[in-house]
Structure 1
């Protein structure tokens, strides 16, 4: 898409919609898989997947920043018409993703038990979480390469190709899950490990299809001939991606680290609360999708406009992103709170005592995604020009001293409810800090480019 001219709001919506659809499909797949697990294997298995999935979010968060740094380079390169620089950035981050993901898969396989002990995983769920997590670690290379290619494609202005292959992944994952969990037809009954294996298989097939598509359609980021050397980036390029990417990755590590701590605190409240929180997270995944899609679209659009020296459009893109997010997220919150009981029954069963606990959590904390989404849009604008340290500081302060401080000082007064109140209160704090950084304007300085000579 042309992101540097024409109507801003319309272009931003059209560019964000494929990413939003991809997020919906990905979350739908996760939700359907959780329904299979919850209905066929019970609450302990559902709690096990919640504990394992937060680990995977942590692993992907560690690499997220490198992908985002490359995406910024790709966006600014495309904005100024330098396709070779965009391909160089894409090749470098794909090569880095391959090395990183293989290391994570090997380390994760052997460290699964220790990780679950750190999370204080309930004994009833420990064995299931172990089986699920180990198989999931095996899928990390294919999954990480897929995510990297999708991020790079969106940075180049193509959000449709990632959507195509997200559809393929989701369809395969939903079909394979009951087959491998229950052992339908000629396949063995693998239980919770079957759910993880289904996801791994679907992701691998989709990755192969996406690489084939890139070359069959001569995608702008495909590498041919001498360009294949871009998979081994020069030190100057790697230094740039790592230097800009580490703070961005640290942002995700802060978020996932806070999630790990929250899982540990919730687990201390017992299995029912742990299962309720796991189901709540499944529904919250849908509520946060507009913010994540719009934030990614704003970042790519701002990056291309900065590359084209269209600074006059940057503030308008950011304002449009915030407005669109408030409308879309507000509608989703209203729908969720209206139909929460029916939605929760899909994951927990209609008679589960965890349903009422989960409804209580949602009534207190779901509105947190309004300030959260606005913060995501502002951070997307900042990182589009390489401003990566202020967002890291903002997220660290809101997730740790503020959120944990709220828990520490409030638990003795209102008990476990302070866990849920800490979400909106810390989100409001992060929004206030992000707005101050955005308005001060220091992030508008020209981002230095890597030396490729």
Structure 2
């Protein structure tokens, strides 16, 4: 029995504008990813609203746990992202026999990583809470320990969901993970008040209830996702294909890590740079910090779209790379560049023109609003550059040039880390921090645009 082939060349029938802007049809793959990402953001906001009713210590405890999960996201992205890329290459090449060893390797890596992280965090959950929240905050520390006692073992479910989702995305199916994310968040929205406040006869569990609601919603969703996976086209194609013969070169474990580590590094460096800049802004008072948090949180709908387009480009570029389809690879590069530039322009203008309205809708405090209005012009420039380089990064991850992405991100972040503390000491003040952030994002965007243009020229020379 022959295995089905994957159509990797972009469709020929397209509208003139959309066909030029997105020749690889990235948006068809990206929009479900966007809904998946935004549904998680909305659910987390709803959880914070419920927890806020329990008081400051409870809110601090859950916020600390959410920050910790963001750090752990870099680990799961390195594994699940690498798995998606390697599987997508095999799907693009119609080498379904290669899927089994890759999935076995991904499972082993996930199992080891999960076991190590869960054991270490469970043992150190109280010292970690004291370091983050301060040993004087006894109530918040105690509540953090209660939350982490349930949430840390639940990391296994969190990592497992990302791994199973990668099997669907490798086939270009981003709608199933989207539906599963919506299902999980719907369960969480219902379970949160029931377990936190003891509605419908349930025990009132407070922050422990919030952790139970989160883990339970993810566990139910993982069970449904696994059921769908067992009946997915990927499994049918994999079952029909003969076992792939062993070939010289790196094994599947090394392939996954080589493909995924740049993604994990990129995420971790970006997050660390963002946390460091908050520390710099904090020198200018709580109003400036609150303003910074307000204006950046209102941008999530813009940045999540860029990350969704990046994920779509990663999948399509990896499939094209596996199929050795230079036409689709070039199309994915063109789509990423054009969509990145278009979205950056729209995003920058949206922040500049509508940022004030967004701030007014979030807060009514005059001091915070005044501080936010002063930051918005600089933020519009920064966000335009950030949206462009995030959207562009997918073609490097999927096309096998992840090291270039990780290097550009690290260099840009290093510039920001060095310049921000120095510039804020000059008469520029807080504006110096924004200039450092703009230099960071501008460096990354310039490097990626130059590399993309160089790759495009190389492709033209080969096909000429």
Q: TM-score, normalised by structure 1?
A: 0.82
Given the alignment, which residue of 184, 187, 191 partners 1:172? Answer: 187
Q: 1:391 and 2:402 equivalent? A: no
Q: Are the equivalent residues in 2 in contact too, given 1:119–1:260 (CA < 8 A)?
A: no
> In angstroms, what is the RMSD of aligned CA positions?
3.6
Deviation at 1:83, TM superposition (A): 1.6
Q: 1:337 and 2:359 equivalent? A: no
Structure 1 unaligned segments of length 5 or more: list them: 229-233, 446-453
Q: Are the equivalent residues in 2 in contact too, given 1:273–1:357 (CA < 8 A)?
A: yes
Deviation at 1:397, TM superposition (A): 1.3
Given the alignment, which residue of 48, 51, 61 partners 1:37? Answer: 51
Q: 1:6 and 2:24 equivalent? A: no
> 1:284-433 residue pairs with structure 2 within 5 A?
284-328=299-343, 331=346, 334=350, 337-341=355-359, 343-345=361-363, 361-362=375-376, 364-399=378-413, 401-413=414-426, 414-416=428-430, 418-433=432-447
My pick for the range that moved more, 78-87 or 263-272, is 263-272
Q: Are the equivalent residues in 2 in contact too, given 1:398–1:426 (CA < 8 A)?
A: yes
For residues 44 and 327 of structure 1, the distance between their equivalents in structure 2, rounded to whole angstroms, comes to 43
Q: Are the equivalent residues in 2 in contact too, given 1:90–1:221 (CA < 8 A)?
A: no
Tell me: CA distance 1:189–1:342, structure 2 relative to 1, closer, same or farther (3 Å). Answer: farther
Tell me: CA distance 1:352–1:31, structure 2 relative to 1, closer, same or farther (3 Å). Answer: farther
Q: Are the equivalent residues in 2 in contact too, given 1:135–1:197 (CA < 8 A)?
A: yes
Deviation at 1:265, TM superposition (A): 4.8
Deviation at 1:279, TM superposition (A): 4.9
Deviation at 1:283, TM superposition (A): 2.9
For residues 49 and 381 of structure 2, the distance between their equivalents in structure 1, rounded to whole angstroms, comes to 25
Tell me: CA distance 1:98–1:314, structure 2 relative to 1, closer, same or farther (3 Å). Answer: same
Q: Are the equivalent residues in 2 in contact too, given 1:3–1:157 (CA < 8 A)?
A: no
Which residue number in structure 1 is paired with residue 257 of structure 2?
A: 242
Given the alignment, which residue of 91, 102, 105 partners 1:78? Answer: 91
Deviation at 1:395, TM superposition (A): 1.1
Q: Are the equivalent residues in 2 in contact too, given 1:398–1:429 (CA < 8 A)?
A: yes
Which residue number in structure 1 is paired with residue 30 of structure 2?
A: 16
Deviation at 1:225, TM superposition (A): 11
Higher alpha-carbon Rg = 2
Tell me: CA distance 1:323–1:249, structure 2 relative to 1, closer, same or farther (3 Å). Answer: same
CA deviation map 1:111-159 (0-9, x unaligned): 2344445546696694355544554323211111111222332122111
Tell me: CA distance 1:411–1:188, structure 2 relative to 1, closer, same or farther (3 Å). Answer: farther
> 1:150-161 residue pairs with structure 2 within 5 A?
150-161=165-176
Tell me: CA distance 1:338–1:83, structure 2 relative to 1, closer, same or farther (3 Å). Answer: farther
Q: Are the equivalent residues in 2 in contact too, given 1:295–1:376 (CA < 8 A)?
A: yes
My pick for the range that moved more, 121-130 or 243-252, is 121-130
For residues 133 and 356 of structure 1, the distance between their equivalents in structure 2, rounded to whole angstroms, comes to 38
For residues 41 and 77 of structure 1, the distance between their equivalents in structure 2, rounded to whole angstroms, comes to 50
Which residue number in structure 1 is paired with residue 160 of structure 2?
A: 145
For residues 181 and 351 of structure 1, the distance between their equivalents in structure 2, rounded to whole angstroms, comes to 30
> 1:261-280 residue pairs with structure 2 within 5 A?
261-262=276-277, 264-265=279-280, 279-280=294-295
Q: Are the equivalent residues in 2 in contact too, given 1:169–1:206 (CA < 8 A)?
A: yes
Tell me: CA distance 1:273–1:84, structure 2 relative to 1, closer, same or farther (3 Å). Answer: farther
Which residue number in structure 2 is paired with residue 450 of structure 1?
A: none
SS at match of 1:412: coil
Structure 2 unaligned segments of length 5 or more: list them: 1-5, 13-18, 244-248, 460-464
My pick for the range that moved more, 423-432 or 1-10, is 1-10
Q: 1:186 and 2:191 equivalent? A: no
Q: Are the equivalent residues in 2 in contact too, given 1:4–1:301 (CA < 8 A)?
A: no
Tell me: CA distance 1:361–1:258, structure 2 relative to 1, closer, same or farther (3 Å). Answer: same
Tell me: CA distance 1:225–1:81, structure 2 relative to 1, closer, same or farther (3 Å). Answer: closer
Tell me: CA distance 1:31–1:105, structure 2 relative to 1, closer, same or farther (3 Å). Answer: same
My pick for the range that moved more, 294-303 or 77-86, is 77-86
> 1:243-258 residue pairs with structure 2 within 5 A?
243-258=258-273
Q: TM-score, normalised by structure 2?
A: 0.80
SS at match of 1:386: coil
CA deviation map 1:7-66 (0-9, x unaligned): 56272211111111111212111222233334x245665555444323212112023123
